[in-house]
Structure 1
Amino acid sequence: MPLPQVTEQNFEQEVLATDLPVLVEFGAEWCGPCKMVAPELEALSRELEGKAKVVQVDIDRSPMLARELGVQSVPTFVVFHQGRPAGGKVGALRKAQLKEMVEPFLPRAAGALKPMEVAELLRRGQVVLVDTREAPVFARAHLPGAVNMPLDEIKGRLAELHMLPGAPVLYCRAGDKTRDVAAELAEQGVPVSFLDGGVLDWEASGLPIERPD
Protein backbone atom coordinates (compact mmCIF):
# COMPACT_ATOMS: atom_id res chain seq x y z
CA MET A 1 0.00 0.00 0.00
CA PRO A 2 1.57 3.34 -1.08
CA LEU A 3 2.50 5.77 1.68
CA PRO A 4 0.76 9.16 1.97
CA GLN A 5 2.51 11.89 -0.03
CA VAL A 6 2.85 15.17 1.85
CA THR A 7 3.59 18.53 0.20
CA GLU A 8 4.34 22.06 1.33
CA GLN A 9 0.60 22.76 1.12
CA ASN A 10 -0.52 20.11 3.63
CA PHE A 11 2.66 19.55 5.69
CA GLU A 12 1.38 21.52 8.67
CA GLN A 13 -1.92 19.65 8.75
CA GLU A 14 -0.53 16.15 8.11
CA VAL A 15 2.68 16.36 10.16
CA LEU A 16 2.80 19.30 12.57
CA ALA A 17 -0.83 19.34 13.73
CA THR A 18 -1.33 15.62 14.33
CA ASP A 19 -1.30 14.06 17.81
CA LEU A 20 0.66 11.03 16.60
CA PRO A 21 4.42 10.89 16.08
CA VAL A 22 5.25 11.13 12.36
CA LEU A 23 8.19 9.61 10.48
CA VAL A 24 8.82 11.62 7.31
CA GLU A 25 10.96 10.32 4.46
CA PHE A 26 12.39 13.09 2.29
CA GLY A 27 13.11 11.47 -1.06
CA ALA A 28 12.86 11.83 -4.82
CA GLU A 29 11.67 9.80 -7.79
CA TRP A 30 15.23 9.54 -9.16
CA CYS A 31 16.63 8.27 -5.83
CA GLY A 32 17.69 4.60 -6.00
CA PRO A 33 18.11 4.08 -2.23
CA CYS A 34 14.61 5.55 -1.72
CA LYS A 35 13.18 2.76 -3.88
CA MET A 36 15.16 0.19 -1.87
CA VAL A 37 13.79 1.43 1.45
CA ALA A 38 10.16 1.75 0.27
CA PRO A 39 9.12 -1.81 1.31
CA GLU A 40 10.68 -1.27 4.75
CA LEU A 41 8.71 1.95 5.21
CA GLU A 42 5.47 0.36 4.06
CA ALA A 43 5.94 -2.57 6.46
CA LEU A 44 6.63 -0.17 9.33
CA SER A 45 3.55 1.88 8.45
CA ARG A 46 1.38 -1.25 8.67
CA GLU A 47 2.93 -2.27 11.99
CA LEU A 48 2.48 1.16 13.58
CA GLU A 49 -1.02 1.84 12.24
CA GLY A 50 -2.94 3.88 14.80
CA LYS A 51 0.23 4.57 16.83
CA ALA A 52 2.32 6.63 14.40
CA LYS A 53 2.20 8.00 10.85
CA VAL A 54 4.71 7.29 8.10
CA VAL A 55 4.67 9.73 5.16
CA GLN A 56 6.83 10.79 2.22
CA VAL A 57 7.89 14.19 0.90
CA ASP A 58 9.30 14.58 -2.63
CA ILE A 59 12.02 17.22 -2.35
CA ASP A 60 11.64 18.21 -6.02
CA ARG A 61 7.96 18.98 -5.49
CA SER A 62 8.50 20.65 -2.09
CA PRO A 63 11.94 22.30 -2.38
CA MET A 64 11.25 25.08 0.13
CA LEU A 65 10.28 22.54 2.79
CA ALA A 66 13.45 20.55 2.17
CA ARG A 67 15.57 23.70 2.46
CA GLU A 68 13.85 24.84 5.66
CA LEU A 69 14.57 21.49 7.30
CA GLY A 70 18.16 21.33 6.06
CA VAL A 71 17.70 18.25 3.88
CA GLN A 72 20.95 17.86 1.93
CA SER A 73 20.70 14.30 0.62
CA VAL A 74 18.06 11.63 0.09
CA PRO A 75 16.69 9.64 1.65
CA THR A 76 16.59 11.67 4.85
CA PHE A 77 14.30 10.55 7.67
CA VAL A 78 12.97 12.95 10.30
CA VAL A 79 10.70 12.12 13.24
CA PHE A 80 8.23 14.82 14.26
CA HIS A 81 6.64 14.74 17.70
CA GLN A 82 4.18 17.33 19.00
CA GLY A 83 4.83 19.53 15.99
CA ARG A 84 8.63 19.58 16.25
CA PRO A 85 11.47 17.62 14.67
CA ALA A 86 12.74 15.16 17.27
CA GLY A 87 15.49 13.30 15.43
CA GLY A 88 16.80 12.46 12.00
CA LYS A 89 18.96 10.02 10.03
CA VAL A 90 20.29 9.87 6.49
CA GLY A 91 20.62 6.88 4.17
CA ALA A 92 18.86 3.64 3.28
CA LEU A 93 17.73 2.25 6.64
CA ARG A 94 16.14 -1.06 7.53
CA LYS A 95 12.73 -1.35 9.18
CA ALA A 96 14.25 -2.03 12.62
CA GLN A 97 16.38 1.13 12.39
CA LEU A 98 13.39 3.20 11.31
CA LYS A 99 11.26 1.81 14.12
CA GLU A 100 14.03 2.65 16.58
CA MET A 101 13.71 6.31 15.58
CA VAL A 102 9.98 6.37 16.32
CA GLU A 103 9.81 4.11 19.38
CA PRO A 104 10.63 6.72 22.06
CA PHE A 105 7.50 8.64 21.04
CA LEU A 106 5.02 5.76 20.73
CA PRO A 107 2.21 5.46 23.27
CA ARG A 108 2.86 2.64 25.72
CA ALA A 109 0.47 0.12 27.17
CA ALA A 110 0.25 0.18 30.97
CA GLY A 111 3.05 -1.91 32.45
CA ALA A 112 5.09 -2.08 29.24
CA LEU A 113 8.86 -2.16 29.70
CA LYS A 114 11.38 -1.98 26.86
CA PRO A 115 14.12 -4.64 26.62
CA MET A 116 16.93 -2.28 27.68
CA GLU A 117 14.88 -1.11 30.67
CA VAL A 118 14.28 -4.71 31.75
CA ALA A 119 17.97 -5.56 31.27
CA GLU A 120 18.95 -2.69 33.60
CA LEU A 121 16.37 -3.71 36.23
CA LEU A 122 17.67 -7.29 36.01
CA ARG A 123 21.22 -6.06 36.52
CA ARG A 124 20.08 -4.28 39.69
CA GLY A 125 18.26 -7.40 40.90
CA GLN A 126 14.92 -5.58 41.05
CA VAL A 127 12.89 -7.85 38.77
CA VAL A 128 12.33 -11.52 37.95
CA LEU A 129 11.41 -12.51 34.42
CA VAL A 130 8.41 -14.81 34.07
CA ASP A 131 8.32 -16.84 30.85
CA THR A 132 4.66 -17.49 29.99
CA ARG A 133 5.34 -19.87 27.10
CA GLU A 134 4.78 -23.63 27.35
CA ALA A 135 7.33 -25.65 29.34
CA PRO A 136 9.02 -27.35 26.33
CA VAL A 137 9.60 -23.96 24.67
CA PHE A 138 10.96 -22.53 27.93
CA ALA A 139 13.30 -25.53 28.29
CA ARG A 140 14.85 -24.92 24.87
CA ALA A 141 15.73 -21.27 25.52
CA HIS A 142 14.66 -18.46 27.83
CA LEU A 143 15.70 -15.07 29.13
CA PRO A 144 18.32 -14.88 31.91
CA GLY A 145 17.12 -16.15 35.29
CA ALA A 146 13.54 -16.57 34.09
CA VAL A 147 11.00 -18.81 35.81
CA ASN A 148 8.33 -20.62 33.82
CA MET A 149 4.65 -19.95 34.46
CA PRO A 150 2.51 -20.80 31.40
CA LEU A 151 0.05 -18.12 30.37
CA ASP A 152 -3.09 -20.11 31.19
CA GLU A 153 -1.83 -20.63 34.76
CA ILE A 154 -0.99 -17.00 35.59
CA LYS A 155 -4.37 -15.97 37.01
CA GLY A 156 -4.43 -18.97 39.34
CA ARG A 157 -0.89 -18.39 40.59
CA LEU A 158 -0.97 -14.68 41.44
CA ALA A 159 0.19 -15.22 45.03
CA GLU A 160 3.18 -17.22 43.78
CA LEU A 161 3.87 -14.54 41.20
CA HIS A 162 4.16 -11.85 43.85
CA MET A 163 6.28 -13.99 46.19
CA LEU A 164 9.16 -13.97 43.69
CA PRO A 165 12.38 -12.27 44.91
CA GLY A 166 11.75 -9.28 42.63
CA ALA A 167 8.94 -7.56 40.77
CA PRO A 168 7.58 -9.97 38.13
CA VAL A 169 7.95 -9.05 34.46
CA LEU A 170 5.91 -11.31 32.19
CA TYR A 171 7.06 -12.14 28.70
CA CYS A 172 5.97 -14.20 25.69
CA ARG A 173 7.29 -14.58 22.15
CA ALA A 174 6.12 -11.22 20.75
CA GLY A 175 4.68 -9.36 23.78
CA ASP A 176 1.08 -9.35 22.59
CA LYS A 177 -0.25 -12.12 24.84
CA THR A 178 1.40 -10.81 28.00
CA ARG A 179 0.21 -7.28 27.16
CA ASP A 180 -3.37 -8.56 27.12
CA VAL A 181 -2.94 -10.46 30.41
CA ALA A 182 -1.33 -7.42 32.06
CA ALA A 183 -4.30 -5.29 30.96
CA GLU A 184 -6.78 -7.82 32.40
CA LEU A 185 -4.90 -8.03 35.70
CA ALA A 186 -4.67 -4.23 35.95
CA GLU A 187 -8.47 -4.05 35.63
CA GLN A 188 -8.68 -6.46 38.59
CA GLY A 189 -6.39 -4.23 40.66
CA VAL A 190 -3.30 -6.42 40.19
CA PRO A 191 -0.80 -4.34 38.19
CA VAL A 192 2.02 -6.33 36.61
CA SER A 193 4.72 -5.41 34.10
CA PHE A 194 5.46 -7.13 30.81
CA LEU A 195 8.29 -7.12 28.27
CA ASP A 196 7.22 -4.97 25.33
CA GLY A 197 8.00 -6.85 22.11
CA GLY A 198 8.70 -10.10 23.96
CA VAL A 199 11.56 -12.47 23.15
CA LEU A 200 11.72 -11.16 19.57
CA ASP A 201 12.56 -7.59 20.61
CA TRP A 202 14.88 -8.84 23.38
CA GLU A 203 16.96 -10.75 20.84
CA ALA A 204 16.76 -7.90 18.31
CA SER A 205 18.27 -5.63 21.00
CA GLY A 206 21.30 -7.95 21.21
CA LEU A 207 20.51 -9.12 24.75
CA PRO A 208 21.47 -12.61 25.97
CA ILE A 209 19.37 -15.78 25.90
CA GLU A 210 19.99 -18.77 28.18
CA ARG A 211 20.11 -22.19 26.50
CA PRO A 212 20.82 -25.58 28.09
CA ASP A 213 24.33 -26.94 27.54
Structure 2
Amino acid sequence: MILGGFGGGGFGGKSGAPAKASSLTSIGERDFEAEVFRSTEPVLIYFSSQRAGQAGQRTDAEVEGVAQELEGKLKVVKVDIENAPTLVRQLRIQQVPMFMVFAGGRIVDGQAGALTKKALRTMVEPHLPRQAGALKAVEVAELAKRGMISVVDTRDAGAFKRAHIPGATNLPVEEIETRLAELFMLAGQPVLYCRAGDKTKELSARLVEQGTEVGYIEGGFLAWEAEGFPIERG
Protein backbone atom coordinates (compact mmCIF):
# COMPACT_ATOMS: atom_id res chain seq x y z
CA MET A 1 0.00 0.00 0.00
CA ILE A 2 1.12 3.58 -0.70
CA LEU A 3 0.93 5.92 2.25
CA GLY A 4 0.26 9.66 2.20
CA GLY A 5 2.72 12.23 3.54
CA PHE A 6 2.46 14.28 6.68
CA GLY A 7 4.16 17.37 8.04
CA GLY A 8 7.41 17.33 9.96
CA GLY A 9 7.90 18.14 13.60
CA GLY A 10 9.41 16.86 16.80
CA PHE A 11 8.15 13.84 18.67
CA GLY A 12 8.01 13.34 22.39
CA GLY A 13 7.95 9.98 24.09
CA LYS A 14 10.63 7.45 24.62
CA SER A 15 13.98 7.60 22.93
CA GLY A 16 16.40 4.99 21.76
CA ALA A 17 19.76 6.64 21.14
CA PRO A 18 21.22 5.72 17.74
CA ALA A 19 23.20 2.53 18.15
CA LYS A 20 25.08 1.39 15.09
CA ALA A 21 24.74 -2.33 14.45
CA SER A 22 26.72 -2.84 11.29
CA SER A 23 24.87 -1.01 8.50
CA LEU A 24 21.51 -0.93 10.32
CA THR A 25 20.82 1.87 12.82
CA SER A 26 18.18 1.61 15.57
CA ILE A 27 16.46 4.90 16.39
CA GLY A 28 13.73 6.13 18.72
CA GLU A 29 11.17 8.90 18.60
CA ARG A 30 13.53 11.68 19.68
CA ASP A 31 15.97 10.72 16.92
CA PHE A 32 13.33 10.48 14.20
CA GLU A 33 13.31 14.09 13.08
CA ALA A 34 17.11 14.31 12.77
CA GLU A 35 17.61 10.86 11.27
CA VAL A 36 14.65 10.88 8.87
CA PHE A 37 13.17 14.33 8.19
CA ARG A 38 16.56 16.04 7.96
CA SER A 39 18.39 13.27 6.13
CA THR A 40 20.05 14.24 2.86
CA GLU A 41 19.73 10.62 1.72
CA PRO A 42 16.59 8.59 1.10
CA VAL A 43 15.64 6.66 4.24
CA LEU A 44 14.19 3.17 4.53
CA ILE A 45 12.43 2.76 7.88
CA TYR A 46 11.93 -0.75 9.20
CA PHE A 47 9.27 -0.92 11.92
CA SER A 48 9.56 -4.11 13.93
CA SER A 49 8.68 -5.63 17.28
CA GLN A 50 10.92 -7.03 19.97
CA ARG A 51 8.49 -9.95 20.17
CA ALA A 52 8.91 -10.95 16.50
CA GLY A 53 11.14 -13.95 17.31
CA GLN A 54 12.77 -15.99 14.54
CA ALA A 55 10.60 -14.42 11.84
CA GLY A 56 11.91 -11.04 12.92
CA GLN A 57 15.49 -12.29 12.77
CA ARG A 58 14.99 -13.43 9.19
CA THR A 59 13.60 -10.04 8.22
CA ASP A 60 16.46 -8.35 10.07
CA ALA A 61 18.90 -10.27 7.86
CA GLU A 62 17.14 -9.19 4.65
CA VAL A 63 17.11 -5.54 5.74
CA GLU A 64 20.74 -5.72 6.82
CA GLY A 65 21.65 -7.03 3.36
CA VAL A 66 20.01 -4.03 1.69
CA ALA A 67 21.70 -1.64 4.12
CA GLN A 68 25.12 -3.07 3.28
CA GLU A 69 24.60 -3.16 -0.48
CA LEU A 70 23.28 0.41 -0.67
CA GLU A 71 25.52 2.00 1.95
CA GLY A 72 26.27 5.58 0.96
CA LYS A 73 23.12 5.81 -1.18
CA LEU A 74 20.42 4.85 1.31
CA LYS A 75 20.03 5.29 5.05
CA VAL A 76 18.35 2.31 6.72
CA VAL A 77 16.93 2.67 10.22
CA LYS A 78 15.04 0.32 12.51
CA VAL A 79 12.28 1.39 14.90
CA ASP A 80 10.96 -0.93 17.62
CA ILE A 81 7.27 -0.12 17.98
CA GLU A 82 7.34 -0.82 21.74
CA ASN A 83 9.64 2.20 22.11
CA ALA A 84 7.76 4.46 19.70
CA PRO A 85 4.04 4.66 20.57
CA THR A 86 3.70 8.21 19.24
CA LEU A 87 5.20 7.27 15.88
CA VAL A 88 2.99 4.21 15.68
CA ARG A 89 -0.08 6.38 16.23
CA GLN A 90 0.92 9.23 13.91
CA LEU A 91 2.05 6.94 11.08
CA ARG A 92 -0.91 4.62 11.64
CA ILE A 93 1.23 1.50 11.93
CA GLN A 94 -1.23 -1.39 12.22
CA GLN A 95 1.10 -4.35 11.75
CA VAL A 96 4.79 -5.25 11.72
CA PRO A 97 7.03 -5.61 9.95
CA MET A 98 6.21 -2.36 8.19
CA PHE A 99 8.48 -0.53 5.77
CA MET A 100 8.39 3.13 4.75
CA VAL A 101 10.60 5.09 2.41
CA PHE A 102 11.19 8.78 3.11
CA ALA A 103 12.78 11.11 0.54
CA GLY A 104 13.03 14.86 0.93
CA GLY A 105 11.39 14.67 4.34
CA ARG A 106 8.18 12.98 3.18
CA ILE A 107 6.84 9.48 2.74
CA VAL A 108 7.14 8.28 -0.85
CA ASP A 109 6.30 4.59 -0.39
CA GLY A 110 5.21 2.11 2.22
CA GLN A 111 4.60 -1.63 2.37
CA ALA A 112 3.47 -3.96 5.14
CA GLY A 113 4.68 -7.49 5.72
CA ALA A 114 8.00 -9.33 5.59
CA LEU A 115 9.92 -8.41 2.43
CA THR A 116 12.93 -10.07 0.85
CA LYS A 117 16.10 -8.17 0.03
CA LYS A 118 15.09 -8.18 -3.63
CA ALA A 119 11.65 -6.75 -2.85
CA LEU A 120 13.17 -4.07 -0.63
CA ARG A 121 15.58 -3.03 -3.38
CA THR A 122 12.71 -2.80 -5.83
CA MET A 123 10.90 -0.60 -3.33
CA VAL A 124 13.76 1.85 -2.72
CA GLU A 125 15.57 1.99 -6.07
CA PRO A 126 13.23 4.55 -7.70
CA HIS A 127 14.18 6.98 -4.94
CA LEU A 128 17.96 6.48 -4.91
CA PRO A 129 20.31 9.16 -6.25
CA ARG A 130 21.36 8.38 -9.82
CA GLN A 131 24.96 8.26 -10.96
CA ALA A 132 26.03 11.02 -13.32
CA GLY A 133 25.32 9.95 -16.89
CA ALA A 134 22.74 7.33 -15.92
CA LEU A 135 19.89 7.16 -18.42
CA LYS A 136 16.78 5.02 -18.49
CA ALA A 137 15.94 3.16 -21.69
CA VAL A 138 12.98 5.45 -22.38
CA GLU A 139 15.24 8.49 -22.08
CA VAL A 140 17.77 6.95 -24.47
CA ALA A 141 15.05 6.21 -27.02
CA GLU A 142 13.92 9.84 -26.99
CA LEU A 143 17.44 11.30 -27.14
CA ALA A 144 18.39 8.95 -29.98
CA LYS A 145 15.28 9.95 -31.91
CA ARG A 146 16.36 13.59 -31.62
CA GLY A 147 19.90 12.76 -32.73
CA MET A 148 21.46 13.99 -29.50
CA ILE A 149 23.34 10.80 -28.58
CA SER A 150 25.26 7.94 -30.16
CA VAL A 151 24.59 4.53 -28.65
CA VAL A 152 27.59 2.24 -28.09
CA ASP A 153 27.17 -1.51 -27.59
CA THR A 154 30.03 -2.75 -25.41
CA ARG A 155 29.25 -6.47 -25.67
CA ASP A 156 31.30 -8.87 -27.78
CA ALA A 157 30.82 -9.03 -31.55
CA GLY A 158 28.75 -12.21 -31.34
CA ALA A 159 26.20 -10.72 -28.95
CA PHE A 160 26.08 -7.54 -31.02
CA LYS A 161 25.36 -9.51 -34.20
CA ARG A 162 22.54 -11.47 -32.55
CA ALA A 163 20.68 -8.35 -31.43
CA HIS A 164 21.47 -4.71 -30.67
CA ILE A 165 19.89 -1.28 -30.35
CA PRO A 166 19.25 0.22 -33.81
CA GLY A 167 22.13 2.43 -34.96
CA ALA A 168 24.49 1.28 -32.20
CA THR A 169 28.26 1.15 -32.71
CA ASN A 170 30.04 -1.93 -31.38
CA LEU A 171 33.08 -1.25 -29.17
CA PRO A 172 33.79 -4.14 -26.75
CA VAL A 173 34.04 -3.03 -23.14
CA GLU A 174 37.62 -4.26 -22.72
CA GLU A 175 38.77 -2.17 -25.71
CA ILE A 176 37.05 1.15 -25.11
CA GLU A 177 39.72 2.76 -22.95
CA THR A 178 42.29 2.18 -25.72
CA ARG A 179 39.91 3.38 -28.45
CA LEU A 180 38.67 6.64 -26.96
CA ALA A 181 39.32 8.51 -30.21
CA GLU A 182 36.50 6.52 -31.78
CA LEU A 183 34.12 7.73 -29.08
CA PHE A 184 35.06 11.34 -29.79
CA MET A 185 34.35 10.84 -33.49
CA LEU A 186 30.74 9.78 -32.94
CA ALA A 187 28.05 12.22 -34.01
CA GLY A 188 26.47 12.59 -30.57
CA GLN A 189 27.28 12.16 -26.90
CA PRO A 190 28.30 8.51 -26.36
CA VAL A 191 25.87 6.41 -24.33
CA LEU A 192 27.20 2.95 -23.47
CA TYR A 193 25.33 -0.23 -22.76
CA CYS A 194 26.17 -3.83 -21.90
CA ARG A 195 23.83 -6.75 -21.22
CA ALA A 196 22.56 -5.69 -17.79
CA GLY A 197 24.15 -2.28 -17.22
CA ASP A 198 26.60 -3.22 -14.47
CA LYS A 199 29.78 -3.21 -16.56
CA THR A 200 29.01 0.05 -18.35
CA LYS A 201 28.02 1.69 -15.08
CA GLU A 202 31.52 1.04 -13.73
CA LEU A 203 33.19 1.95 -17.01
CA SER A 204 31.32 5.22 -17.46
CA ALA A 205 32.15 6.29 -13.90
CA ARG A 206 35.82 5.60 -14.59
CA LEU A 207 35.77 7.47 -17.91
CA VAL A 208 34.01 10.48 -16.40
CA GLU A 209 36.66 10.64 -13.67
CA GLN A 210 39.28 10.73 -16.44
CA GLY A 211 37.48 13.59 -18.20
CA THR A 212 35.60 11.65 -20.90
CA GLU A 213 31.91 12.53 -20.81
CA VAL A 214 29.80 9.45 -21.48
CA GLY A 215 26.46 8.13 -20.35
CA TYR A 216 25.16 4.60 -19.86
CA ILE A 217 21.81 2.82 -19.99
CA GLU A 218 20.53 1.71 -16.59
CA GLY A 219 19.74 -1.98 -16.88
CA GLY A 220 21.56 -2.26 -20.21
CA PHE A 221 20.20 -4.10 -23.24
CA LEU A 222 17.82 -6.09 -21.03
CA ALA A 223 16.12 -2.86 -19.95
CA TRP A 224 15.81 -1.77 -23.59
CA GLU A 225 14.18 -5.10 -24.51
CA ALA A 226 11.89 -4.96 -21.47
CA GLU A 227 10.49 -1.65 -22.72
CA GLY A 228 9.59 -3.29 -26.02
CA PHE A 229 11.79 -0.98 -28.09
CA PRO A 230 12.95 -2.17 -31.54
CA ILE A 231 16.18 -4.11 -32.01
CA GLU A 232 18.37 -4.85 -35.00
CA ARG A 233 20.03 -8.14 -35.92
CA GLY A 234 23.14 -8.83 -37.94
TM-score range for the pair, normalised by the shorter chain length: 0.7 to 0.9
Please, which runs of 5 or more residues in structure 1 have no aligned partner?
none
Distance 2:138 2:79 in 1: 33
Distance 1:143 1:36 in 2: 41
Deviations 1:74-98 (A, max 9, x none): 1211111122222211222232332
- Residue of 12, 22, 27 corresponding to 2:43: 22
Deviations 1:138-192 (A, max 9, x none): 3697655455311232245456446668764212356454234324544566422
- Residue of 10, 29, 41 corresponding to 2:31: 10
Alpha-carbon distance change, 47 to 142 in structure 1, aligned in 2, over 3 angstroms:
farther
Equivalence for 1:66: 88
Equivalence for 1:194: 216
Q: Say if 2:150 and 2:187, in contact at 8 Å, map to a contact too.
A: yes
* SS in structure 2 at match of 1:152: coil
Matches within 5 A, 1:10-159: 10-31=31-52, 34-115=56-137, 117-118=139-140, 129-135=151-157, 138=159, 144-145=165-166, 147-158=169-180
Taking structure 1 as the reference length, what is the TM-score of the superposition?
A: 0.74
* SS in structure 2 at match of 1:49: coil
* SS in structure 2 at match of 1:151: coil
Alpha-carbon distance change, 86 to 60 in structure 1, aligned in 2, over 3 angstroms:
same
Deviation at 1:27, TM superposition (A): 1.5
Deviations 1:7-27 (A, max 9, x none): 112112222222111100111
* SS in structure 2 at match of 1:93: coil
Give the residue type in structure 1 aligned to 2:44. Answer: L
Please, which runs of 5 or more residues in structure 2 have no aligned partner?
1-21
Give the residue type in structure 2 aligned to 1:195. Answer: I
Taking structure 2 as the reference length, what is the TM-score of the superposition?
A: 0.69
Which structure has the greater CA radius of gyration?
2
* SS in structure 2 at match of 1:15: helix
Alpha-carbon distance change, 177 to 139 in structure 1, aligned in 2, over 3 angstroms:
closer
Q: Say if 2:195 and 2:221, in contact at 8 Å, map to a contact too.
A: yes
RMSD (Å) for aligned C-alpha atoms: 3.6
Distance 1:128 1:19 in 2: 34
Distance 1:160 1:14 in 2: 47
Distance 1:143 1:70 in 2: 49
Alpha-carbon distance change, 53 to 141 in structure 1, aligned in 2, over 3 angstroms:
farther
